[in-house]
Structures are given as structure tokens and as C-alpha cells.
Chains A and B, each alone.
Chain A
Amino acid sequence: MKNQASVTINGKRVPLEGEKNLLALIRKSGVEMPTFCYHSELSVYGACRLCIVDIEGRGIDTSCSTPPRDGMVIKTHTPKLRKMRKTLIELLLANHETNCTSCDKTNACKLKDLAADLGVKEIPYKKTREHREPDLLSPSLLRYPDKCVLCGDCVRYCNEIQGVGAIDFAYRGEDVVVTPAFNKSLAHVDCINCGQCAAVCPTGAIVVKSETDKVWEALADESKTVVAQIAPAVRASLGEMFDMPASAVTLGKIMSALKYLGFSEVYDTSFGADLTVLEETNEYLERKRAGNRTTMFTSCCPAWVKYAEQFHPELLPQVSSCMSPQGMVGSLSKKLVAQTENKSEEDVIMVSIMPCTAKKFEAHREELSSDGVPLIDHVLTTQELGKMIREGGILFKDIAPAAADLPFGLYSEAGLGFGASSGVSEAVARYAARSLNNRDLLSFEPETNPEYPEWKEVIINDDNVKLKMAISSGLKNTEKLIQKINSGEVSYDIVEVMACPGGCIDGAGQPVSYESGKAEVRRKALKDAGKITPVHCPEENPYIQRIYEKMLGGKEGSPEAHELVHTSYQSRKRIADHTMELASSTQEAPVEINVCVGTSCFLRGSQEILSGMTSKIEQEDWKDRIDLKATFCSENCAHGPTVTVGEKKMTQTSLESVVKEVESQLGIKEPAGVKG
């Protein structure tokens, strides 16, 4: 014991147990150390300088970027260090937009808390940064650059965990700002709306877009019937906002709070999850029967779906066509409530309560609307619901619990499991076993393959059920998995993808928490809630059966089910509005040619088509009759090169066929079998 390596922190010896940096060691020793830019899951940045310590014989240095060494003697809160920290905060506040009382982050702002802790009374410095306009266009997230402390947490999260890189630092020196490419809005770039940037932001520089005002308005409108649905993960965390221990009883309180707020019916998204289990398993089995051996990807996570649409359009046919559980409950309940209340669907307002910011984007998807009426009208995050409960004067701690409304209020343990990573996979595997083997699986244990630590896998080989599944969360991990699947190095039947590490339970709409270990508490609360659910399997849920009979054509995968609870996807450009005009005509109705020069089409020779086409235009003097444009992805990467001539989309095409098509559309030649 005596020989164990240790560091002396404020006079106390602390043994070294593999800590990567002094900061981790200091926190282990029970000393609170302020930081803005340090997150254990991200790379060390060392920018905020708040974690400075005095190292004997070495002077002052940041503890996050200093590896601990045996025999080090450090002090963490000397008068000099405290003064330096205070100065740092004063400098940050000098340029910070200090409208704290009206800031969305007011209850969880690290900057505000630290300023109070360090006794900052006045700001002796002048504001030097120019005002920058907020970005309010995204349906999920709002950016207020004037509140940014440039810690870079959001930038690193987006790059290192999600592999998207929608935001980054731009400009230099005093002009530095965190921004999407070309100062565009988050709504117009490759942001997947996972919201983790807002979750790690220590201030209010990136916050979740609130929809509470619209919901209050709908609740006050007597011509509307306002219904709610609540996602599995919400019940495991809402209590945190009211200093209540996470427990299985929170749900009952939420249901009764929603009734107090004026919702006519309160449903459970877990019902939609039950339905997803049946539809998705059936979809998988049908694909198998049709001889389709490609991997099927889950579709519950809207951030993942947008990621696939932007970065892997070639995979879209492999993404399950099931709507997310939110979409399913929205679709079915709007129809049913409108019928029973004899109202038009426009007058039934569906409000979802989600742990997720990407669900706000999902609700705006064109595919999730019927005849222009959205299936989901508003999405509230767990945080927003907490705020509404407070604003509505409801004493959450004292409120008596109530039950959800039928038919969409009853759900199974399996459906509830969707709230955490691996829940979807387990439910699908078990249901497949029950329907093919007439008995459940004995166990379902996702394991990490040491060769591929980025994801977990489950291999089931039980009579008629032979399934290889991968469970992935965090999109950088998922990208690695996709690369390995595409290269043929690994193969899976079903891949479950959740954008947020750990799944919905750690979604960005959950109450802000800087404590570690919170995720485990929530996970346990969700598991416990599952245990007290009387229905264990989705197919045993009597209301699922009833809805199948009444609305979904009596069986899984029916045309009615496809109409009501399945959806479709679209390939998306990463950056909006990017086409390069190479030739443009002056005529009123020219033939427009778009040549995709995205990476994948480029590799397949779109450049040759483009240059061939240009010389052809010059040669034939078609300049006045043709608009030639190069577009940047991503229309149909798997079948590139993609060229559209007028209305006609040509895939796997060549210069020759493009020229032929152009000639035919210009009415020059009429090739056999092609109509202009």
C-alpha cells in the first residue's frame, strides 16, 4: 500500500488508479473543480482555463491536460488561483449577453452558477465583441452566439461522437464564432437535430426550441381537442426537475398533471413501440422470405434517419419503413379521436412529450402528414413539460397519480424498453422467437466483440430463429459499423441505431444534468417501470389486437398498416441550395440538365459526363437551349452517376445516353422507344 503511486492534493494523499489527467484525480478526491470545456467522453481541449492548479515546482497549469505523476504536490484553491478564476469569469461575462432572467438556460447555466460561486459582483471590462444575430430557423435548436464562451464542447461533440461536424469554429482572434458552414442556419446544413450540442453547452448559446407557447394556445382553444402522448424515457427523468427520486410512480403523476393542464386524452408512445415491434419484425421476416439478405436498419430515431438520408442514401431502402412510435401513435390517434368526436383531423391537436430534440424535426416531415395535416402538431421535450407543469401551478410532488387513456395508453414491458439502447432489438428478437418457435428466448445479452468495440452484438441461434444483430448508439460508432458492413467485413441481419449514446434515456430533451451516473439511475427507473407493467409482450396487448382489427386490416403488414403506420425517406443534400451553374440559357423554357457531382457519382464518372456535355453544348451551339448545372449530391448515390435531363432522372448513365436524351428532348432526333 505504501508504495502505491499517489498525488498530494491540498495536503491529502490520493492514490493513482489509472486516471488520465489530474482533473479526474482531483474530482475523485472529492474536490469540486469548475470546467466549461472538459467532458470525459470528449478530447481534452484546455481552453477555459478554469481547472488551473498550482503544481509544486512547476507553477500553474490546467489540470485537465496534465497527466498525474507519482509524488506531485498540488493545490487547487489558493488565493491566486481563485483570483485568476474570478478574472476569467469576469472576462467571459464582459462579452456575454447577460439577459439571464429570460434565458432558456437560466436554471442550468454553469456560467451563472460559477459567477455566483466566485463572488463576481461587477464586470470591470468593456464589451468588445460585435453583436451576432441569433439563428432561430431550426425546428429543434436555437443558437445565440452572443452567449457563447467558445469552450468548443458542442463542436467536439458533433465531431467526435456524432461524426457530423455541422458546427465549427470560424474566423480568427476576437471574431471567432461557432457556426454552421458559411454562416448558414442549422436548419440548412447537415445538423441531425440530436441536440447534444445544447446538452453539453454550459451556457444558453445553443438551446432547445421551445413550443410551450403554442401548446398553451392550443389548450386554451375550445374548438380543439388536445391529446398528448408520452415517450418511454420521459417518465424516468421528469422527477429530477422536481427533486423527486427516479421511480416507477412518476408516470402516474405525469398523466394526472397532463389532465390538469387540460389535455383531453393522454396516451403512451410505448403503445406505438408495441406496434413497431410487430410491424418491424413482420417487415424483416417478409424481406427474408423475399430473399433480401441485406441488413435492415431500425427507423425509430429521427436523428439517425436524417443522418442516413444525408450521408447514406444508398442505405435508405434498407431502413425499416415503419414510422417511429411517435408517428404511429399520432397517425392512429388523430384518426380515431376525430372519428369519435366527430371533428376534422385539423381540430385534433397531438402533442408529443419526448426526451428528444430531433422529434421536433421529425414532426415537420412531410411524410408525417396526411392531406397537409401533420400527424404530430407539437413536440415538447421533458424539460418543456416540466416548465409547463411549474407554469401551470401544479404541485407535482403532491399530485395524485392517474392512468393513461385507452386504447393508446396500454403498452407492454417490451414497448417501454424502447427508451434505452438495445430495447428495440430485444423486443424484435423475442417476438420473432415467439412467433417462429412458439416460445420466448431464454436470454438476450448484447455483448461487445473486442474486435469491434464501437457497437454491441447479439447472435441468436435458436431453432427457427437465426439472427445476428448489432446495437449501435452514437453516429460516429454507427458510421464505422456501416463502413464495415459495406466493405463486407461484418454482416448483420438487423442493426439498431440510436443517435444519442445510451439511447433516448440520454436524449437532449431530458433535464440538464452535469452529474455523472444520472444515466444509470434513469435506466434503472425505466427498467423498474417495465417490471410493474402487467403486459409483457406486444402481441398480448389487447388494445393492439383491437386496433389491428379496427384500423389496420387485421394483420401485420396489411395495406392499411402501410397506409397508416409506414413511411418513406428522401435523400437530402448536406448543405442546402448548392448547385453550380455551368451554362445557363437565356430562353424561357430551356432543358435543364443536372449532373450530380457528389462524391459517389464523381467516382463513377460524372465528371466525364459533365465535361463531355459542355464540349457538346459548345460544339452544337446549344447554349441558348440548355441549362447545365452541377449539383452536390445526393439524389441516388448507389446508382450513380445520376443525371436529370428535364423531368427525366437517369441513373447509372453515360455521356452517350445523356446526349441522346437531350437530343430527344430538344426534338432533334427521336430515338426509338424514348418519348420526349
Chain B
Amino acid sequence: MPAPSPTAEKLYNFSKVCEILDKHDRLPSKIIPILQEVQEEYRYLPEEILTFVATSLGISPARVFGIATFYSHFSLEPKGKYIIKVCDGTACHVKGSSGLIETIERELNLSEKVHTTPDLLFTLETVSCLGACGLAPAVVINDKVYGQVSKKQMKELIAEYRAKED
């Protein structure tokens, strides 16, 4: 199957937003589940989509912006295709997760302020606990869990995902 063209993808996403709104009967009280589902579609919350959601629900765009910035789950910046979540809970921290974070930041040229690579391939996030303490330090890339990851393995993983794109 050929990959969908960017146009088709954008349009598909947009009609998805309309579906999400309809599914929740365009109720302002459902704003949080609506934003969650929109973020699923776009991987983040684009400004123009937030404005569209706000007008559709009859809430001011400023309020929707307030809601979207309140919860750290929501992102107003585009996220990478691969989201690397490094667990920094107690067990993982003790087993050296901060070293992993440093490795990733160095490899991808990221920092405390820049979480996403300019080519929108990777986003680095830290999470407090994945509930996989037995695998510490644990890393999740999109939906795939990697246990007892070493710095060396981390570098290899990044290279592996990069290679997928070439």
C-alpha cells in the first residue's frame, strides 16, 4: 500500500477532528477528552485546530489555550515521529536513567528546553514511573518497551530508528 499523500493525511486528520467533536456532541464539558483524542490524531495540538475546536464548542480560544497549557500531557508543539520516554522513577533513577537522558540529549542535540529534533523524528520525554521497575532503567519508544537499557544500547536504538527512515 502506498503511503498516503500529505494532503490526504491532513484532510483525513481534519475530518477526524470533526468526528471527535460529533462523538462528544460538541459539549464544552467534554473539552478534555476531545483534546486528548485530537492530540492522538496530530501527535500535538496545532493552534488552528484548537481555534476550530474552541469555536465549534462555543468556548473562547483563550480558555481552550488555558486548558491545553494547564496539563503537561498536552503539547502545543509538534512532537517527533518517535517519542522516547525515559522512565525517571526511583528504581530507574537508581539504575542510571539520568545517564540515558544525557546520552539521548547528546546524540540528538536536545536540551532541557528543546525536546524535539528539528527533523521531527524524535521527541524525548521523561516520565515518573512506567510501572516496569523490574526492567529498570526502562525506555519506551512509541509503544515498544525496552528494559535494562545501557547507554550503548540507547545509541544503537537511536541509530536503528534513524535507519528506518533512510
Contacts and interface: CB of A to CB of B under 8 A. Distances in A.
Nearest to B59: A165
B164 interface: no
B153 interface: no
Given A169-B66, A170-B65, A614 B7 contact: yes
Contacts, number: 97
B102 interface: no
B142 interface: no
A578 interface: yes
Interface in A176-194: 179-182, 189-190
B60 interface: yes
B55 A168 contact: no
A649 to B, nearest CB: 21
Interface string B58-76: 0111111110011110001
Given A578-B48, A580-B14, A607-B15, A168 B7 contact: no
A630 B17 CA distance: 13
B52 interface: yes
B117 interface: no
A171 B62 contact: no
A461 B111 CA distance: 74
A301 interface: no
B11 A633 contact: no
A574 B7 contact: no
A168 B8 contact: no
A455 interface: no
A575 B5 contact: no
B106 to A, nearest CB: 26
A602 B56 contact: yes
Contacts of A582: 7, 10-11, 14
B93 to A, nearest CB: 23
Contact of A599 (B5, B15, B56): B56
B38 to A, nearest CB: 13
A168 B62 contact: yes
Nearest to B57: A599
Nearest to B63: A168
Interface in A22-53: none
B14 A181 contact: no
A610 interface: yes
Contact of A633 (B10, B55, B70): B55
A159 interface: yes
B69 A171 contact: yes
Contact of B51 (A166, A172, A575, A607): A575
B65 A182 contact: yes
B47 interface: yes
Given A632-B52, A632-B55, A623 B7 contact: yes
A179 B14 contact: no
Contacts of B11: 582, 610-611, 614
A581 B55 CA distance: 19
B4 to A, nearest CB: 10
B157 interface: no
Contact of B60 (A181, A598, A610): A181
A435 interface: no
A132 to B, nearest CB: 14
B51 A610 contact: no
B57 to A, nearest CB: 10
B114 interface: no
B78 to A, nearest CB: 14
Nearest to A599: B55
Contacts of A581: 10
A180 B50 CA distance: 13
Contacts of B50: 181-182
B51 A632 contact: yes
Interface in A344-390: none
B61 A189 contact: yes
B61 A597 contact: no
B18 interface: yes
A181 to B, nearest CB: 4
B62 A179 contact: yes
A578 B51 CA distance: 8
Interface in B19-40: none
A164 interface: yes
Contacts of A169: 66
Contacts of A623: 5, 7
Given A182-B65, A623-B7, A165 B60 contact: yes
Interface of B: 5, 7-8, 10-11, 14-15, 18, 46-52, 54-56, 59-66, 69-72, 76
Given A182-B50, A580-B49, A583-B7, 5 more contacts: A168-B63, A170-B70, A181-B65, A574-B55, A580-B10
9 contacts: A181-B62, A182-B50, A189-B62, A575-B51, A582-B11, A598-B55, A599-B56, A632-B48, A632-B52
